[in-house]
Every structure is written in structure tokens, then in C-alpha cells.
Chain A
Amino acid sequence: MPSNPLKLTLCGISLQNPVIAASGTFGFGHEYAEILDVSRLGGISGKGLTLNGSAGNKGMRVYETPSGMLNSIGLENPGVRHFVTHEADYMRALGPAVIANLGGHCEEDYLEGAHLLNDADIDILELNISCPNVKAGGMAFGMLPETAADITQKVKAVSRHPVMVKLSPNAPDLVAVARACESAGADALSLVNTFLGMAIDVKQKCAVFENVYAGLSGPAILPIALRMVHQVAHAVTIPVVGMGGITSAEDALKFLMAGAVAVQVGTMTFADPKAMLRIIDGLSDYCAQEGLDNLQQIVGIL
């Protein structure tokens, strides 16, 4: 039997393909498992968790923009303990690599959360220091190299799982943050989280979101996300997982060529729940057409 040209290893974990459901866009897998064959995915990153859970933000939470959307969910989630006891095993049974996305409001939250996740059968801990939608903490940790390195190093010291740090495109010097996380021991990096944006209701003369600013995702951000992935992949030696507006196999290939070993798909799943399956099929076709033994051969060719 010919070997699977899409397979790869990420943080020592074997993935059947490089297409991962992005955090916050796939729940813990239940909902989409009713609609599509989720076992075909490379991985699933679960909804961003916080230590004690959260009801999320008030008011409008999702708002469409040209070829994209703004969200202000505010990390509504059931908390790390609930995940460990109720969701982790379910996610494991689905088949794809299991990634737990951990957010926090302060250092203690992150460390206690990482500690509790040691009891869960997950493959990778995705350290979310880039959520723009929570008032305290969240993105703050990801804005500067010093704070990003500090939290990365501390979580690494606590966690038994590989740690992939999810970076914010809103950092003034993203490459410096990426390098700092690498030096602090990160096993991988994922980027980008959403761009801080804004919407105004002109009729009502008010901001659409109660938090005023919200996170922009979808095809509209692709060119900027791609540039950032390219810059970061050239600056570090650890694996980079790229995302931001991917809608097709062609888009995924752009991120791989820019240096990402795998991709995540978020917003497009909302528009077309089967988008990731199309992308996986498209990547297989590409390998056949190009005569590639393994798709990883095109990673970082640019």
C-alpha cells in the first residue's frame, strides 16, 4: 500500500494530514460530528478554555464584514475541569489529534489550568496568549516578548504535554514574540489569532460590540496572516502551524509554502461545514499531480 503523502509529525505526534480545526470554531467536536466525518481531520483544537470557565461577553457576538467576520465571544467555555472530565475522552475517540486550547486571565490561571490538563489524554496544549476578547489577561500576555516568554517557560515547566504557543497578530513585534517563545521552550507556534477590529452601527450611532473592539477572521485576513507566517517561519526553527482565512486547498498550500507544517481552518467551517474535507481531498490531489511522496516537501519553499 502506498504511504499517505499527507501525514506528518508535529511535536512528536503523528497527524494523518495537516488540516486542523481552529480553536473556537469547532466546539469540542460534537456539533460537526453530526454533520461530517470528523475522523478524517488531522487534528481538532477545542474551544479556548479558562480555569473556571466563563459565560463570555454580553451583547452582539458575531458580525459579518467584507469576506470575514468580527467576533466577541469572550471565551465562553465550561472550564478546564469540565473539559478534563467530560470532553477530552470524547475528543480522543473522534480520532484526530487532540489539541486543548488554554487561555487565562492571569499567570495563576494558566499554570493551574496547565496542571489540571496533565490529567487529560490530549496530544498538544495550545497556549492561547492571543485572545483579543477578554478584558483581563488574554491577549496581554502575547503582546510583548518578555511576558510571552515568561508564561511559556512557566507553562512548559508545569505541563507534561507539548506546548504550542498561539500568537497574536496584534503584537507590535510579532517576530520578536515568536523568537522569545522559542527560546522559552515552546515546542511549536500557531498563528494567527484574530486581528483586533471594530464595527460601528451608523444608524444607532454606537459601537456594534459591547467591548467596542472585536476579533477579525476569515478570507479578509489571509494575505496579512500569510505574510506573518512567512516571517515567523523564517525566524524560528520550531514548527509553525499557520492559519487565517483559509478556504481552499490552494489557500492551505500558500501557508505550507510560506513555511507552516500544518494549517488550521476556522471561519470557513462556519460558511461551509465540509470545507476542511474539501481541503484534505484537494491536498491529496495536489500530491498526486505534483508527484510528491509527502506534502511536507513543499513546506517553506518560499
Chain B
Amino acid sequence: MAEIIKNEPIANGIYRMSVFGAPLGRAGQFFMLRVPGALDPLLGRPISICEIDADKGETTFVYQPIGRGTAQFAALLPGQQIEAQGPYGNGFPLKGGRTVLIGGGIGTAPMLQLAKELRKSDPARKIDVFLGFREEAYLEKEFESYADNVTRNIGGYVTNDVDFALDATYYACGPSVMLRAAAKAADEANASLFVSLEKHMACGVGACLGCTCQTEHGRKRVCKDGPVFDYREVRDAI
């Protein structure tokens, strides 16, 4: 159980919620969030860690109320409780050297904590961030505290802005069209790319096999073995 510290819109149809008391995870991991005791909606909703403030013991999520579960979250007030089960999933591998982060829409959320951890692991490294939005940008300022460059694209294809030929590690999270475009570009440039996948989930812990995908090494669970994969391994699942 975690306590809601803040829960407010940061853009049209986008909310940011900070909670206290959830176990601290790392970039790329997620929580199954659920209104305590609710039987309808019943299942937790997978929501990525957007930022962790370890000193305060706070975890921040950025989410889009698109259905019944997430709409319920948007109605929660500071001081109320939320069930935050997790952190689940493998998280992003923190590679050395230059890094390029690509986020599309709500997929920008997990990239923020990644930028933070990459910066912390190496204050001198170069971090380029590319953010793509359909209509309105968010989190741009927050990224600026950790990245060397933040490029945003509204209404276009963010992957077109990215040079995949750098000697760098690429990380991407966003809609499938974006991930497919990134994979194609990474193929052409022979780049190293990690993608975070999304699947409908029931348990979030690897027990129900509701979220498995075909990989080069047999079937894997997006919730437990992922959600972050080397794109080459999950080419057919993107």
C-alpha cells in the first residue's frame, strides 16, 4: 500500500502521480496499480516508474486515463491509498558510453528515470533524448536536468530525427509503430537497441502466461523476462 502525495494533470489527458511507501525500483520496471479492495475493475494496471526520489521515498508515475482503471486513478486525491504491487519486470540495462533515449507519447515516462540513472552512473557521458508527441509535449523540462540534448517532435515521426549510426546504446519505449521504425533503423545502422514492450497483463509477475511473446529464445513473458528486450530478440513481437 502506498500513499498518494500528488496526483494532477500535467498536460491535456496526462496525469502525474507521486506516491510514498512503494518499494523503490529502477528504470524500466513497473508497478501493478490498483484501487485498494476494488473488485471492478479487478486487475492491477501496469504503470511504469517515471521517476524515483530515493531521499523522499517517493515514486512518480505519469499516466494517461484511457479506460476504467486509469480513470479511477485520476480521481484519487492526495492522502488516499493506492495498492502499488511491485516493482516488477527486469528494467533497462545501464550500458556505458554514449546513450540515446527515444520516447513516444506515454512511452516517454519510463525514459525519465532511465536518463536520471544513466546520468548518475556517469556524469560525463553524452545523453541525447528524443521525445515524440501527437499534440502536446510533457516532461521536457524534467529531461533537461539529465540530458545533454532534448529534441521534441510533435505530430511527426520522432525516429526520423534520430541518427542511428552513432557509437551509442539506444533505448526506446512507445507505440508499436515507433518501435518498429526504430528497429528498422537499428537494423540498417547495426545499432544496439533496447525496447520496452507493452502487452495486456493479468498477474504482472510471470504466473498467468497472459503476456508471453515469441522471441529468438522461445516464448518469454513481457512482465517477468521483460518488459525490456534487445530488439533483435523480439523482432516478431514488436
A27 contacts B210, C-beta separation under 8 Å:
no
Chain B 205-236 against A: per-residue CB contact (8 Å), 1 yes, 0 no? 11111111010000100001000000000000
B219 contacts A67, C-beta separation under 8 Å:
no
With a 10 A CB-CB cut-off, give which of B204, B208, B210, B212 has the most chain A CB atoms. Answer: B208
Size category of the binding interface on chain A: 20 to 34
A66 contacts B219, C-beta separation under 8 Å:
no
Is A107 part of the binding interface, using a Cβ–Cβ cutoff of 8 Å? Answer: no
| Interface SS of chain B | loop
The answer to whether residues A61 and B211 also contact, given A271-B42, A271-B44 and a CB cut-off of 8 A, is yes
The answer to whether residues A25 and B208 also contact, given A67-B39, A219-B42, A267-B42 and a CB cut-off of 8 A, is yes
Tally inter-chain residue pairs, CB-CB below 8 A. Answer: 84
Select one of B39, B40, B203, B219 contacting A270, CB under 8 A: B203
Residues of A within 8 A of B208 (CB): 24-25, 62, 71, 73, 270
Is A282 part of the binding interface, using a Cβ–Cβ cutoff of 8 Å? Answer: no
Which A residues from 17 to 31 make CB contacts under 8 A with B?
24-27, 30-31
- Considering the chains assembled together, what is the distance between the CA atoms of A269 and B44 in angstroms? 11
Is B202 part of the binding interface, using a Cβ–Cβ cutoff of 8 Å? Answer: yes
Is B200 part of the binding interface, using a Cβ–Cβ cutoff of 8 Å? Answer: yes
Residues of B within 8 A of A35 (CB): 205
Is B83 part of the binding interface, using a Cβ–Cβ cutoff of 8 Å? Answer: yes
- Considering the chains assembled together, what is the distance between the CA atoms of A66 and B42 in angstroms? 8
B206 contacts A31, C-beta separation under 8 Å:
yes
- Considering the chains assembled together, what is the distance between the CA atoms of A274 and B34 in angstroms? 14
Which B residues from 148 to 207 make CB contacts under 8 A with A?
200-207
With a 10 A CB-CB cut-off, give which of A61, A63, A270 has the most chain B CB atoms. Answer: A270
- Considering the chains assembled together, what is the distance between the CA atoms of A63 and B202 in angstroms? 8
Residues of B within 8 A of A32 (CB): 205, 207
Which A residues from 39 to 57 make CB contacts under 8 A with B?
47, 55-56
Is A64 part of the binding interface, using a Cβ–Cβ cutoff of 8 Å? Answer: yes
Is A218 part of the binding interface, using a Cβ–Cβ cutoff of 8 Å? Answer: yes
The answer to whether residues A272 and B209 also contact, given A56-B219, A61-B200, A76-B219 and a CB cut-off of 8 A, is no
- Considering the chains assembled together, what is the distance between the CA atoms of A42 and B219 in angstroms? 31
Is A247 part of the binding interface, using a Cβ–Cβ cutoff of 8 Å? Answer: yes
- Considering the chains assembled together, what is the distance between the CA atoms of A95 and B210 in angstroms? 27
Is A68 part of the binding interface, using a Cβ–Cβ cutoff of 8 Å? Answer: yes
B38 nearest CB neighbor, chain A only: A271
- Considering the chains assembled together, what is the distance between the CA atoms of A68 and B40 in angstroms? 8
B202 contacts A71, C-beta separation under 8 Å:
yes
Select one of A25, A219, A247 contacting B207, CB under 8 A: A25
Measured between C-beta atoms, what is the minimum distance from A73 to chain B in Å?
Answer: 5
Closest 10 CB pairs of A and B: A62-B210, A27-B207, A270-B203, A62-B202, A67-B40, A31-B206, A31-B207, A270-B202, A31-B205, A61-B210
> What are 24 of the A-B contact pairs (CB < 8 Å)?
A25-B203, A27-B206, A27-B207, A31-B206, A32-B207, A47-B209, A55-B214, A56-B219, A60-B200, A61-B200, A62-B201, A62-B208, A64-B42, A66-B40, A67-B42, A73-B209, A218-B42, A219-B39, A267-B202, A270-B207, A271-B42, A271-B44, A273-B203, A273-B205
If A31-B206, A64-B42, A64-B43 are given as contacts, then 5 extra A-B residue pairs at C-beta distance below 8 Å, sorted by A number, are A31-B203, A73-B208, A247-B39, A270-B203, A271-B43
